[in-house]
Structure 1
Amino acid sequence: MLKKFITLTVLSFGILFSGFQVTHAQDMNCTDFTNDPQGLMDFWHSNGYSATNDPHDLDRDNDGLPCEVSQADYDEYVADLQANEGELKQMKVKLKLVRECKGEEHFQKQQQIIQS
C-alpha cells in the first residue's frame, strides 16, 4: 500500500510540474534567412529586436542590424512599412466613408471617395 502511495505521489508531482516547463521559441540563425532577407527584416522588426535585445544573436557585431543587413536596406524596409501603414489608414478612412454613404443617391459620392 505504501509503495502505491509513493508511486502515485511521485507521478502526481511529475504531472503537476510538467506544466511549468519554460518553453523557448525556436532559435533562429542567419542561415535560416539566407534566401529571405525580407523575412529576416520582418522577423527582426516585428519582434522589436535591437543591439541590446537580440536573443537569437543575429546581430553579432552589435550594430543594431541583423545578419549584416546594411543600414540603407533596413532604413528602406522601415520606410516601406511606414508608407504601407499610411496607405492602410487612408484605405480604412475611405472604406468608412463609403459605408456611411447609403442608397442610390450616394453612389456618385462613393465613387468620388474611392477614386480620391
Structure 2
Amino acid sequence: MEEFSLLTMIAVFEEMFGIALFWIMVSVAVVITAAWVFVLVRDRSLSFRKYLVAQLSMPFGAVAAVWFVLWITNSGLADIGGPIDWLVLLGVAALGAVGLGILVYVVQSLMRGRQSEV
C-alpha cells in the first residue's frame, strides 16, 4: 500500500467485511451519532446517571467489537502476529466501547426522556 487515503481504507474495509455489511455498519453509526447529537441538543446537558450506566456498558462493547472482527476475519487471538496487530485490536476495542457507550446513553435518553438531576 503505497498511498494512504480514505478511498483506500474504504476499499480495504469493503473487502474485509463485504460491501453490504460495511455500508450497513456505516449507516448504523451515522444514525446513532445523529441520535446522540439530537439528545444532546434536546437535553442541553449530559445526565450523569445515564452517563454512568453508559460507561458501565463500555467493556461489553469492547469485547463484542473484538469478537466481531475476529469472527468476520476467521481469526483467533493465536493469529495475532506483531505489535501492529495488538494496536489495531486495541483500536477496535476502543471504538466498540465508545460506540456501545453512546448507544446506551441514547437509548436511555430516548426511552426515559429528559429528567431533571437532583
Q: Please say whether Structure 1 and Structure 2 have the same fold, judged by a TM-score greater than 0.5.
A: no
Structure having the larger proportion of residues in helix: 2
Ranked by relative contact order (alpha carbons within 8 Å, sequence separation 6 or more), the top structure is 2
Give the TM-score normalised by the residue count of structure 2: 0.34
